[in-house]
Every structure is written in C-alpha cells, then in structure tokens.
Chains A and B, each alone.
Chain A
Amino acid sequence: MPISKSDIKLYLTSVEPEIEQTVHAQSLGNYPAVVPSDITKSLVYPEATLAESLSLFDDKLVLNSVIGLENFEFLNINFEVMSTSPLSGALNDITERAINGLSNVHIGSDIARGLFADSIFNDKFNNDLKQYRCIAIKNISSETAFDVEVYLKQNSRNPGSDLKIALEIPQSDYLSGTATSGSKLQLIDTSLIGVFADNHFDDALLRMRSGSNVNQSRIVLSFDSSTGTFILDSSMPNVIVVSDTYEVDPGPAQRVISGTVSPSFNTARVSELSVATKESSIPINVNSNRDNVKDLKPNDVVYVWLERRLKENSTEFNNNSAILTLNYKTS
C-alpha cells in the first residue's frame, strides 16, 4: 500500500526525546518531540481532516473534528492558506480563500492544519535580523516514501523577508532488532557486528519493544561495532535478555542555544542553507551520507533548519506565509 500524506508528520524538536515541546520558539534541534503515547502532541500545527471536498471557490468547509483547532482562524490545506471564522463545530465559514495566492481543490480526508502566527517564529532576531528553527519530518507509517526531496514551494510573500532551509540527516536512521544478550546497561545484538561503525548510534534513543523492560527507553552512550553492543546512559530496571526486541530511533540533530544563533551548515550531515526552489530542491540523502539513502522509511526522520530573515528596510507584514514541500514517489 503506498504511503499517504497523513503518514508524514512535521514535529517540533526538543532538547530531550519523548518530551512534548510546548514552546514552539524553542524548537531548536536535538530530538523530535514525539510523545509515544500521543503522536498528535508536538506537531508544528494541530491537524484535522476534511469531511467533504472543497472546490476552488467554496466558502464553507466541513471538518471531521474540530478538536484541537477550536477558535483557529487560519487553515492550511494542501498548499493553500485560507482564513476562517473562529473554528467551532464541523461546519465553518471561510472568510477568504487563498490568502497566499494559491488556490487548490481539496477532497475529503485532506489534512487541514490550524495555523497561528508567531508560534514557530517570533519577533526575536539577531543583529543580522535572522532567526533559526529546527523541525523534524517523520514517517509514522509502515510504508516508504521514495526519492524524497525538500523545497520551498512558496517563500515569504513579504518582499522584506525571506526564508532559507537546510536539511540535517541524523547520524543513524531507524533500526529495529532483537537482542542476543545484554545486561541492565547493555544491549547486545550480534547481527550488527561490522554492519555499522563504532558510535554510529550515539545519542539516539533506544526503546525496548518486548521483554521485562518493555517501553523503557534510554539514550545510547556508545555503540561497539566489533561486538554489536549498545551502552546505555542509565540502567534498565531488568536485565536485557536474548529475544528481547528493541528499536533505535533516528539520531538527534544539532541543537543551538537560542533561536538567534546559527547552526552549522554545509557539514557532512547538514546541507547548505539555500532558498531551495523546486528546481534546486534538496534531496534527503545529504552528501550521500544517509543510511537509507533517498528513501524515508518507516519511522525515519530528517530535520529541516529554517532561517528566517528580515531585511533592513522591511515593513510590518501580518499573516505572512511560506510553503515547505516534500516531493516523493510512492513506489
């Protein structure tokens, strides 16, 4: 079954894994702030789905549920941004279609995101009038998105500001496996001997999927390729034994201490910062260093760094928008 759009989510990032990020402007790298018990938390924007299709000029929309989007007044569906009356109930009035100048046809089950200004971005800029954020693109399904590239379909609509993006790939992609032995501080999987380099999984989150430590997670301190051994940052409650299954989440991104500090670009795992148009889209296989190459496999993550810049002579521009696009193949 091909991957669907609802299988790809954009999450805020957080300094620690599995912790909800409640301050959007603190989405500054490290781990996707995905809460395993509720994967709707820490989404960059809350989501719902359309119950009915929407033609180019319809001025009413019907949502399957408005939970989490109550009182929102801007929606993003496909690559259209529209304004609405404060959302309440299933049927809602659209006050203006295509405020970003891009009209779309929308069909039932399309994802509608509630947008609010000054969430992910705020008015704190550095002396160069720039600010930075990091978001995580995650495949939450069991299907694969092939040949993935990322670009800005629409940049800032304000001539006085612009956005640039860079992709950062984790040091390690998602892995699942079965322990061959272990202890409370180690998990050994001999099938990994010689497969990955030493320390390949450092700082990634290892989570037990079965056994007496099920759902326990720890940060990987180090990985020994010659023995297939993960050293954990703290003890599990019980000894890890043969046949215990586990998974290792994709590794974290770099983190900056403040949204006004630039991360490192143009490194082994971080692309150059660019305006990334469709013609110059960024493939996720940054510098050919990615384990899973061009494909976003189940549970894989790639990070997008956003640089927002104001120009010296720019003027106030409310409800500005930009469109980030993933282009991929379903087979």
Chain B
Amino acid sequence: MSLDSSVKFLMRFDDLPLTEEVSSKQLTIKGEQSVSLAADGLGLSMKRDQHSFVTGLPLGISKKMSIGFWIFPTNEGVSKNPANGQPEPMRVSLFDFGIGDLDKSTNSVNITRQSITAYEETQIDGKNKMVLRFIDTGDNEFTAKTSSYEVGKWHFIWAAWNGITGDFKFFLDGEEDVALLFGDIPSLTLGVSVGAVSINRTVFDQQHDVLNHNGFIDELMILSNYVATTSTIQKVVNFSVDYAFDSTFSNTEEYDFAFLFNDPTPIRITDMHNDGTYLFASRNDGTVLRGSPLIWDVRRDFSDENEEPVTKTFGDGVSFENGFLNITDGSVRL
C-alpha cells in the first residue's frame, strides 16, 4: 500500500480489531463490545449502544480537506418537538473529528473542540439528509446539508473544502449535490494537527431528537487536500480509495465491455418409443413429442451398407454405389 500523503485517515472496516490504516492505531470500542462487520467487507454495522474512538491521530488538517464515506442509512421516523409538538428531524449520529483526548473518568474520548461533525437528519417522507458541520479555530461554524436520499441502500458522500479559496463542494452518490449551506465557508484553519475521532457518538448532548446510528458505514477517509474532481470521485466509487489515492494504481485504468445475450434452455431427446401407431420422443424438459412412424419407417440411410441386403429391389437398374441408391431402370420397395 502506498497511499498518497494527503490521505490522513482511512477506515475500511474490513477486519477486526478496527484499526485506522494511516496511523495503525486501533479503535477502542465503548458500549456493546461485540463488533459486527458486514459480509464481503461491506462495512461496520453500527449499533445504537456502541461507539468507537481513537485519539492521537496525526491528521495535519489546516486549510483544506476532503472527506468521503459510504453510508447505508435507516430511517425510524421523525421526532416531536416537546415545546410545540411539531415534527422535526431526528439527528442520527455518524462521526466526529476534532481536538480531543481520552477522558479517563468515562474512559471515552472527549472532543473538546469539534472540527467536523457528521450526522443524518431523518425526513418525514422516510428519506434522510446528510449534514456536515465544520467549525474552525475561530469558532466560525459552517453547515452543509445534502438533498434527500432514500434509506435502505448504500450511498456515497464526498465533501471537499478549501479554506483558502472559500470553495466547498458536496457530492452525493458521485454527483455534485446542490447542498444547502448555512454560514460562511470557513476561511480560517480547522487546525487539527493531532486529533481524535469518534464514530457513532456525535458530540450533541442526548436530546429528544438525537439518536445513534444503526445502519452501516464503510471506507471513511479524510484527506488534507481539496479534491473535487468528478473523475477522482468516480474512481473511489466505482473501484476503491486505492485506485484514487494509492500510487500503485495512480496510472491504472480499466476498460470494461459488456456482452448481452439470451441463454436458451438446452433441449435433448432423452428417449424414443414406437408403439406401432405413433412415435413418441421425450425431451429433457419433460415435453413428450408425438409423431407419425410412417415417416420414420420410410427413412433410410443408404450410406449405411447394411441397408442394401434388406432393401427389396425390382429390375436391373437399381444399384448401391458410393453411399447412394441409384435407380435408372427399376423400382424399390421401402
């Protein structure tokens, strides 16, 4: 593996124990200790009573970053504002990055300064929206929210931020999304040189509208660079992060070509029977064919030399030559 130096954090959720790939640091599991991974390396099955964290990550994120991940969301409805009784989205935890360390009293991570918070908002129509919140060293907050997407299927989220130019882009399922933006795009540094991450324990205090996630997450990555080219995102989605950011594959391409065809059912004759009136032939698909034996009775193969002694001929002008029956002057009874 030769990941680009801009890749600062990568969790593939392929194996246990959960280990961050760039730092090789193992994540600590809090709550339910049994960790479930989806089959075929398809990510972490998140549980409401479980979160994981790691501290001391050398993230080195300053004025640019990109973040990407796969999410398999669920939607268990919306909440009700206790003050006015109105429905409002549930905020479903996903992950947090920021400055933080281990709180020994709780034996869990204490993110003292959030930098990036990700969570979903459930919608009343059964769909969700992804929310990313950025907070810079000046406590300037910026929130981006995607369009709605369906739950119960995998989605790919990618966000790229450039604090120098003030650019921000959000991609949903590989396509640039017209994201809702709240606040000014931070131009100051995010300032996360050494940070912490908590997965499935968003820094919000527990409230009526906050819930931990119970879907799946996969290939969570953070880069210290602004990456917003569709071709790169296409590589990450269609292939993997390796094809986009591992120098081993940096000049590798794949050209794919599909063939389309209809497979018929192979038909074979499995048995035949002549009852003197009909000829029956059975097929491997269970079909039975019925035919006239008269046609078969008169079918002769004169290339078979055994036909000659049993063929009744009349006259001198009948001969068997070179596999043919020659009739020049005479007749034949079949």
A interface residues with partner B (beta carbon < 8 Å): 2-3, 5, 8, 10, 44, 53-58, 74, 76, 78-79, 81, 100, 104-107, 113, 115-121, 123, 125, 129, 153, 156, 158, 160-161, 163, 306, 308, 310-312, 314-331
- Check B253–A328 contact: CB distance below 8 A: yes
On whether A323 and B258 interact (CB within 8 A), knowing A328-B252, A329-B253, the answer reads yes
Nearest-Cβ distance from residue B36 to partner chain A, whole angstroms: 24
Known: A105-B234, A330-B251. A153 touches B256 (CB 8 A): yes
Judged by a CB distance under 8 angstroms, whether B233 is at the interface is: yes
Residues of B within 8 A of A55 (CB): 172-175
With A53-B230, A316-B264 in contact, do A321 and B259 touch (Cβ < 8 Å)? yes
Chain B residues, CB < 8 A from A78: 238, 256
- CB-CB under 8 A from A308, the residues of chain B are 261
Q: How far is the CB of A211 from chain B (nearest CB, A)?
A: 36
In the complex, what's the smallest C-beta–C-beta distance from A112 to chain B, in angstroms? Answer: 11
Q: Which residues of A contact B149 (CB under 8 A)?
A: 57
Partner of B262, one of A58, A160, A318, A330: A318
B296 within 8 A of A: no
0/1 interface trace, chain B 253-282, chain A, CB 8 Å (1 if under): 111111111111110100000000000000
Give Cα A188–Cα B6 distance, bound, in whole angstroms: 57
| B84 located at the interface, meaning its Cβ lies under 8 Å from any Cβ of chain A in the complex | no
Q: How many chain B residues have a CB neighbour from A under 8 Å?
A: 33
A319 to B264, CA, bound (A): 11
Cβ–Cβ contact B257 & A314, under 8 A? no
Chain B residues whose C-beta falls within 8 Å of the C-beta of A312 in the assembled complex: 266, 268, 284
Q: Of A58, A117, A321, A325, which contacts B254 at CB under 8 A?
A: A325
Residue of A nearest to B256 (CB): A79
Q: List 23 A-B contacts (CB under 8 A).
A: A53-B175, A55-B175, A56-B173, A57-B173, A58-B175, A79-B256, A100-B258, A105-B173, A105-B238, A106-B234, A107-B234, A115-B258, A158-B263, A310-B264, A316-B263, A316-B264, A322-B258, A323-B257, A324-B256, A325-B255, A327-B252, A327-B253, A328-B252
Please indicate the chain B residues that have their CB under 8 angstroms from the CB of A161 in the complex.
263
Residues of B150-169 whose CB lies within 8 A of A: 150, 153, 155-156
Residues of B within 8 A of A163 (CB): 259
Inter-chain contacts of B268 with A (CB < 8 A)? 312
Q: B231 within 8 Å of A by Cβ? A: yes
* Contact yes or no, B258 A79, CB < 8 A: yes
Closest to A109 in B: B231
Shortest C-beta distance, B226 to chain A (Å), equals 19
B223 within 8 Å of A (CB atoms): no
- Contacting pair B262 A322 (CB below 8 A): no
Residues in A neighbouring B254, C-beta threshold 8 A? 79, 153, 325-328
State A116–B260 Cα separation when bound (angstroms).
Answer: 6
With contacts A76-B257, A327-B254, A329-B251 taken as known, whether A56 is within 8 angstroms of B262 at the C-beta atoms is no
Any A CB within 8 A of the CB of B237: yes
Shortest CB-to-CB span from B145 to chain A, Å, is 17
Closest residue of chain B to A3 (Cβ to Cβ) is B253
When the two chains form their complex, are residues B260 and A320 in contact, meaning their CB atoms are under 8 A apart?
yes
Q: B-side interface residues toward A, CB under 8 Å?
A: 149-150, 153, 155-156, 172-175, 230-231, 233-234, 237-238, 251-266, 268, 284
Residue of B with least CB distance to A56: B173
Q: Please, how many angstroms separate the alpha-carbon atoms of A85 and B238 in the complex?
A: 25
Given known contacts A55-B173, A105-B238, A318-B262, A325 and B257 CB-to-CB distance under 8 angstroms: yes
**B252 contacts which chain A residues (CB < 8 A)?**
327-330
- Smallest CB gap from A123: residue in B: B264
CB proximity of B126 to chain A, nearest CB, Å: 15
**CB closest residue in chain A, given B177:** A55
Complex: chain B residue closest to A327, CB-CB? B254
> Which residues on A sit within 8 Å (CB–CB) of B257?
10, 44, 76, 113, 323-326
In the assembly, what is the distance between CA of A56 and CA of B71, in Å?
A: 13
Complex Cα distance, B258 from A306, in Å, reads 13
Bound-state CA distance A119–B251 (Å) is 34
Are A105 and B251 interface neighbours, CB within 8 A?
no
A310 to B156: give the CA distance in the assembly, Å.
Answer: 38
**Is there contact, CB below 8 Å, between A117 and B260?**
yes
The answer to whether A107 touches B256 (Cβ under 8 A) is no
Take A56-B237, A57-B173, A314-B265 as given contacts and tell me if A120 and B259 are in contact as well, using a CB distance cutoff of 8 Å.
yes
Q: Is the CB of B256 within 8 A of A325?
A: yes
Q: From residue B274, how far is it (CB to closest CB) to chain A in Å? A: 24
* Contacts known (A57-B173, A105-B175, A125-B266); A81 close to B253, Cβ less than 8 A: no
Say whether A328 contacts B255, CB under 8 Å: yes
- Specify which chain A residues have a CB less than 8 angstroms from the CB of B172 in the assembled complex: 55
* Chain A residues positioned under 8 Å from B153 (CB to CB): 57
Q: Which residue of chain A is the closest to B231 with respect to CB atoms?
A: A107
- Measured between beta carbons, the chain A residues less than 8 angstroms from B253 are 3, 5, 327-330
Inter-chain contact A76/B258, CB cutoff 8 Å: yes
CB distance from A102 to the nearest CB of B (A): 9
**CB atoms of A118 and B173 under 8 A apart:** no
Give the residue name and chain of the A residue nearest to B171 (CB). A55
Chain A residue numbers with a CB within 8 Å of B233 are: 105
In contact, B266 and A129 (Cβ under 8 angstroms) = yes
Contacts A76-B260, A324-B256 known; 9 new A-B pairs at CB < 8 A: A81-B260, A115-B258, A115-B259, A121-B261, A318-B263, A320-B263, A321-B261, A323-B258, A330-B252
* Closest A residue, CB atoms, query B236: A105
> Which of B173, B234, B256, B265 is the most central at the interface, judged by chain A CB atoms within 10 Å of its CB?
B256
